Amino acid sequence: MTTYGATPAHVAIIMDGNGRWAKARGLPRLAGHRAGVEALRRTVRAAPGLGIAYLTVYAFSSENWSRPQSEVSDLMGLLKIFIRRDLAELHQNGVKVVVIGDRATLQPEIRSLLEEAELLTAGNGALTLAIAFNYGGRDEIARAARKLALSVARGEIDPEDITPAAFSSALDTAGIPDPELVIRTSGELRLSNFLLWQAAYSELAFLPCYWPDFSADHLAEAVREFGRRERRFGGLAPQDVAL
Ligand code: FPP
């Protein structure tokens, strides 16, 4: 299968560069993360108008715990503020909030805020916003494997039932289509443990700007650039088939 010119239904973003944005201005890293939340708000508002139905953002990775305790607690605080301040607007705009990642080790207060956001917005359909929090691709894959192994051990499924589709359904992103486009800001050229399974055939866009500078125009340009990509999924382009 080859496709061109379509709008990506699912865009996933590695919001990178908050710290460097702050440093360039002589500001504390927290100022960069705060400006990052503003950029996230802009992006969520712009996405539906560009035909995006699913937006996944990498807000806190399972490796981010290794940052200084003060920064970890700043990021936890920003998540709480984001949910508390923005939930009403998100709901009003028809945004369905889902959270991917391992919740087991999060503070109970954060867990219940996340559950409240998911519950309130579960029926919305304008945009699904998947927040990757305490998320790591390898951890997600290992947890899915454990779930499936448990089902085999209980006799609920056979090992032969573990197909790619069954595996996808055991991931945190069950029910969400794979991202067609993964964007990373700040000029770094790697996936950093983000959506490792789901991004198998994603188009990748690496933007030089720091995340706090990301705008609706950047998003629109990335979507336009996606439309110019030839996607072959391991097959051949139509003009090469007869050769
Ligand atoms: C990467 O920048 C960004 C993060 C680790 C966190 C992303 C968080 C936000 C955009 C704000 C929080 C949003 C919510 C909803 C909690 P970095 O700190 O690694 O930047 P650097 O590489 O320049 O140091």
pLDDT (tens digit, 0 to 9) for every residue of the chain, 243 residues total?
555 558 999 999 999 999 999 999 999 999 999 999 999 999 999 999 999 999 999 999 999 999 999 999 999 999 999 999 999 999 999 999 999 999 999 999 999 999 999 999 999 999 999 999 999 999 999 999 999 999 999 999 999 999 999 999 999 999 999 999 999 999 999 999 999 999 999 999 999 999 999 999 999 999 999 999 988 778 877 777 765
Give me the pLDDT at residue 148, please: 98
Distances from the Cα of 87 to the Cα of 104, 115, 159, 163, 171, angstroms: 22, 12, 41, 37, 25
Rounded to whole angstroms, how far apart are CA atoms 27 and 22?
5
Residue 18 Cα, ligand 1 centroid: separation in angstroms? 5
pTM above 0.85, yes or no: yes
Residue 234 Cα, ligand 1 centroid: separation in angstroms? 34
Give me the pLDDT at residue 192, please: 98
Ordered domains of the chain (ranges, CATH): 10-137+178-241 (3.40.1180.10)
Give me the pLDDT at residue 235, please: 83
Q: Is 16 a catalytic residue?
A: yes
Torsion sign over Cα 128, 18, 35, 109? positive
Rounded to whole angstroms, how far apart are CA atoms 87 and 81?
10
First-to-last C-alpha distance (Å) of the chain: 17
Distances from the Cα of 237 to the Cα of 9, 65, 201, 241, 242, angstroms: 22, 44, 15, 7, 10
**Residue 206 structure tokens:** 């690496």
CA-58 nearest atom, ligand 1 = 7
- Sort residue 49 into left (φ over 0), alpha (ψ -120 to 50) or beta: alpha
Best residue among 13, 14, 16 to mutate for probing ligand 1's pocket (most ligand atoms within 8 Å of CB) is 16
Residue 75 Cα, ligand 1 centroid: separation in angstroms? 8
Is 18 close to ligand 1, i.e. is its CB under 6 Å away?
yes
185 in Cβ contact with 11 (< 8 Å): no
CA-76 nearest atom, ligand 1 = 16
Give me the pLDDT at residue 3, please: 59
Cα 55 versus chain centre, distance: 6
